[in-house]
Amino acid sequence: MLVASVTNPSEIDEVKPLCDVVELRLDCFAIIQKPDFPCIFTYRKKEQGGVRAISEDERLLQIAKYLELQPEYLDIEADTNPAFIASIAVKFPNIKLIGSYHDFEKTPEDLGALLESMKNPHFSIYKIAVTAQNTIDLLRLLIFAKNAKVPLSAISMGEYGQPSRVLGPVVGNVLDYAGLQEEGNLHRYSLKTLHEVFHYRKLNQDTQIYALIGDPIEKSPGHLFHNPRFQHNAVYVKMRLSPDFVRKFFALVDHLPFGGLSVTIPLKELVYSVMDELSPMARRIGAINTVIFSNKKSLGTNTDAPGALNAIEKHTTVQGKKIAILGAGGTARAICYEAKQRGAEVLIFNRTPERSKTLAQEFGASGYSLEELGMHPYDILINTIPPKSAHVPNLLAKKIVMDVVYDPPLTPLLIKAQESGCVCITGQEMFREQAFLQQELWRSTKWTVDRRRFLPPRSSEEAGGGGFFSAL
């Protein structure tokens, strides 16, 4: 059930069409009658996030008074005086009691022991809301909720825990909580966002999870792109993950219904190293941005480079063209590989010419210093250097210019390209193309070169004589 938590009575009528139950935070406001709608009454104690600093005796007196209004549910802290809990259970047998626990600093190591300590025969539902200090804490709580043997609502608070606000139906939460507005301090989504972005009503325990992992992830539009396009029971969330926790992350994902991942900086090379299988292109590039989970195996490939070239080929064919690539890092490496596969002549320009020449030698391209850009003709220019460190070079007029950066869409380079009469391709176009390819991979059960140019044919020797990426 979806619970709308309100701290102001003026919000009640507005949230009712968007939820199943309204939680009235009675430590924030008073009422004299119960709304004509299923309600949870909550009078939170100060130590667990309540607003009013009053004695425990006074708080329990207020709770008993409000229960005369016969709400459907009462949320009460599990460590409340057992005698009081027993007394209200007897006096108000039709009110279901939710035994709750909140930790605004951490996620306890032993969640089983925590739940056991909360047990009370009068509780119909248990609620555990704890703070994730990293994404491993989030996954631990989701797995615990999925395997719970009692009616449970498990909420991971804080920035790292935000995906739990969406994934409650997937792990079997009895109650999920949202507010009328986004609440940045709680990292809680609004009711509108849950419905319109994440399609909350369609989520269930058969839903597959897809996620972006990396750090930073805030600016990624992945959840806005993927969720409307899933053609199967799936949801896409963003999980902030640092390099230190990658191996632990992949040790835990098998315990949850993950279907795939998008991988962003700084994890593309590190995640590559923990894959069970890799596409030949991923092996050649040494980095991945896409993971598919199938039969308990992780399968890595790269859609960045095909996405970039696909965006360009909406304007012109690549075969036989001269492509100038600015930069010699991982993105430049991937695009160089794909451009050569499509029959382009590639020129690599970098501040450190040794790096551009090393990369060029590996892929049969030409390498130069960035200062030499104006000395060599090209048809297409692709910038992979971040805006903060990129010197905007002099450009040839009326060429095609792409910048892989998608925020902002119009980078200094593209502004200069517009002034030179060039056709400009933004990083957002590249993002969309690579994301479309991810969608194809995630929803397909067959991976052949005819359907996806960036994956190998089944006869490819580089595929290692079989395996997932050579499957028909």
Q: 200 and 62, same structural domain?
A: yes
Answer whether residue 372 is part of any domain: yes
Q: How far is CA 218 from CA 134, 136, 212, 429, 461, in A?
A: 15, 18, 10, 19, 40
Query: Got the DSSP string for 81-145?
Result: -HHHHHHHHHH-TTSEEEEEEEESS---S-HHHHHHHH--TTEEEEEEEEE-SSHHHHHHHHHHH
Q: What is the dihedral of CA 452, 458, 460, 462, to 10 degrees?
A: 90
Sheet holding 297-301, edge to edge: 234-240, 208-214, 258-263, 290-294, 297-301, 277-278
When pLDDT is averaged across residues 296-302 and rounded to a whole number, the result is 94
Between the two ends of the chain, the Cα-to-Cα distance in Å is 42
- With vertex at residue 266, the alpha carbon angle to CA 216 and CA 289, rounded to the nearest 5 degrees, is 100
Which pLDDT band, with edges at 50, 70 and 90, does 378 fall under? very high
**Residue 231 falls inside a structural domain:** no
Whether the per-residue pLDDT at 135 is higher than 90: the answer is yes
* SS3 state at 304: helix
Last residue of a domain, one of 169, 204, 239: 204
CA 115, CA 120: separation in Å to the nearest integer?
10
DSSP class of 314:
T
Beta bridge partners of 239: 213
Helix axes 82-91, 56-67, angle to 10 degrees: 10
What does the alpha-carbon distance between residue 114 and residue 133 come to, in Å, rounded to a whole number?
18
Number of domains within the chain: 2
Q: What is the per-residue pLDDT across 404-443, written as a single tens digit (0 to 9) for each?
A: 998 889 999 999 999 999 999 999 999 999 999 999 999 8
CATH code: domain of residue 136: 3.20.20.70
Q: For residue 379, give its domain range.
A: 306-427
Residue 31 within a domain: yes
Burial class (CB in 10 A: 0-12, 13-18, 19+), 115: buried
Interval 68-84: pLDDT, tens: 999 999 999 999 999 99
Q: What is the CATH number of the domain that holds 415?
A: 3.40.50.720
Distant-in-sequence, close-in-space partners of 422: CB < 8 Å, separation ≥ 6? 395, 397, 398, 399, 400, 401
Provide φ and ψ at 342, rounded to 5°.
-95, 10
The verdict on residue 466 lying in a domain is no
Establish if 415 belongs to a structural domain: yes
Neighbour-count burial for 139-154, b at 16+ CB within 10 Å, e otherwise: bbbbbbbbebeebbbb
Total residue length of the chain: 472
465 pLDDT band, cuts 50/70/90, is very low
What residues are annotated to the active site? 102, 127, 268
User: What string of DSSP letters covers 59-72?
Assistant: HHHHHHHHHTT--S
Q: What is the pLDDT of residues 348-365, one digit of tens each?
A: 999 999 999 999 999 999
225-259 pLDDT tens trace = 999 999 889 999 999 999 999 999 999 999 999 99
Strand pairing category for 345-350 and 39-42? unpaired
Buried b (16+ CB within 10 A) or exposed e, 42-63: bbbbeeebbeeeeeeeebbebb
Q: Which amino acid is at 228?
A: P
User: Which residue, of 204, 236, 270, is where some domain finishes?
Assistant: 204
Q: How is residue 145 written in tokens?
A: 């909720």
| Mean pLDDT computed over 134-149 | 98
**Per the domain annotation, does 277 fall within a domain?**
no
188 lies in the same domain as 334: no
Domain co-membership, 189 together with 310: no
Residues 31 and 174 in one domain: yes
| Phi, then psi, of 170 in degrees rounded to 5 | -75, -35
Residues 196 and 328 both lie in one domain: no
Nearest by Cα to 96 from 218, 193, 3: 3
pLDDT tens readout for residues 170-228: 999 999 999 998 876 668 999 999 999 999 999 999 999 999 999 999 999 999 999 99
What is this structure's pTM? 0.89
Q: Report yes or no: 301 and 469 within 8 Å, Cβ to Cβ.
A: yes
In a domain, 454, yes or no: no
Choose one of 177, 204, 231: the last residue of a domain: 204
21 in a structural domain: yes
Token pair of 319 as six digits = 């075969």
Residues 190 and 311 in one domain: no
Residue 32 to residue 26: CA distance in whole angstroms? 11
- Residue 22 burial (10 A CB sphere; 0-12, 13-18, 19+): buried
For residues 177 and 41, membership in a common domain is answered with: yes
